[in-house]
Amino acid sequence: MPLPTDEKVLETSNGLLSTFKGIFGPHPGFRPAHAKGRLLKGTFTPTAAAGALSKAQHFTSPSTPALARFSSGTGLPQLPDDNANGNPRGLAVRFELASQPRRVHTDIIAHSVPLFPGVTGEDALAFFRSLADGSVGDYVASHPVARRFVEAPKPFPESFATDAYYAIHAYKLVATDGKGTFVRYRWVPIAGVKHITPVEATARGGGYLFEGLPGLLEKGPISFKLVAQVAAEGDVTDDSSQLWPEDRELVELGTLSLDAEVPQDEDAAQQKTVIFDPIPRVEGVEPSADPLLDVRAALYLISGRERRAA
């Protein structure tokens, strides 16, 4: 995972990191956003349709080991699960393609709303700076993209297993014959989407999501379908704020089955070292020209290096 060389990208990414620290405080060893999280292990099994769309290893192999991280929003590692600021929740999935002679993997990073508060890294930085200085009301009033994100419903999930998660960017799947297909990923829970009210979340307590994971796993794997929303001709692929109509074709790419938490004594160490990457960096899946991708990748790498050193 190389650091981008574009100075503007690096400036914006460092600005975001500093702003998050200003909002949430420094928490060495934790992520600056989605700081509270838990790692799980499982397997991804692709469909035949996935192999037809992409020659990527995780879409053509019978199955691939996976590492997943459920998380709550904010940069507060002790945020109670019944705090509304924890919404949207996150799901990052790593497809572990090889361990020898070197580690090879590719990731999908998603959260429980299909929106982001800016079109570019500079937009995102301006939004979060407005949160930091208290001018967010004025900022949102004059920036429609940020307003849509702020006003989008962000309900409490019944559990991490009953929310849908959206990778907001478009990616190009490349088939064996070279044909490219732009898609947006979403994780659809096999248990169904189920939300609860804030009152119900409070009644369940400040640990209901993370402390509820062992009980869920006792009943069986936590499973999701990976679904690709396929772009039609003319759909914008380099602007994550422009959602595609819901009548676009949906293709099921495979099933993620999470069957165990990473042991507690290993989880903390892995949380510090694992750096998820929004850029695929694998043959068969290519990033779009969305300008947010490089900014997010740089932010995750810069903050990840700090986390590892803490």
Whole-number pLDDT of residue 99: 74
Q: What is the pLDDT of residues 234-264, one digit of tens each?
A: 999 999 999 999 999 999 999 999 999 999 9
Coil vs helix vs strand at 291: coil
Say if residue 202 is exposed, middle or buried (CB neighbours under 10 Å; 0-12, 13-18, 19+). Answer: middle
Whole-number pLDDT of residue 298: 98
Say if residue 85 is exposed, middle or buried (CB neighbours under 10 Å; 0-12, 13-18, 19+). Answer: exposed
Q: Which two tokens stand for residue 122?
A: 């500079």
Dihedral angle of Cα 195, 197, 203, 205, to the nearest 10 degrees: 60
Whole-number pLDDT of residue 203: 98
**Considering the chain, what is the average pLDDT of its residues?**
97
Q: Report H helices in 54-194.
A: 57-60, 121-133, 136-142, 144-151
From 2.40.180.10, 3.30.2320.50, 3.40.50.300, 3.65.10.10, which CATH number describes the 38-115+155-293 domain?
Answer: 2.40.180.10
Q: Which two tokens stand for residue 100?
A: 């020898």
Say if CB 45 and CB 62 are below 8 A apart: yes
| CA distance to 102, 103, 199, per residue, from 99 (Å) | 5, 4, 45
Task: Give residue 168's identity as a one-letter amino acid code.
Answer: I
Q: What is the pLDDT of residues 118-171, one digit of tens each?
A: 999 999 999 999 999 999 999 999 999 999 999 999 999 999 999 999 999 999
Coil vs helix vs strand at 11: helix
Whole-number pLDDT of residue 98: 85
Q: What is the pTM of this model?
A: 0.97
Whole-number pLDDT of residue 1: 83
Residue ranges per structural domain of the chain: 38-115+155-293
pLDDT at 100 over 80: no
Whole-number pLDDT of residue 89: 99
Task: Give residue 298's identity as a one-letter amino acid code.
Answer: A
Average pLDDT over every residue of 195-222: 98
Give the residue carrying structure tokens 């949102």: 140
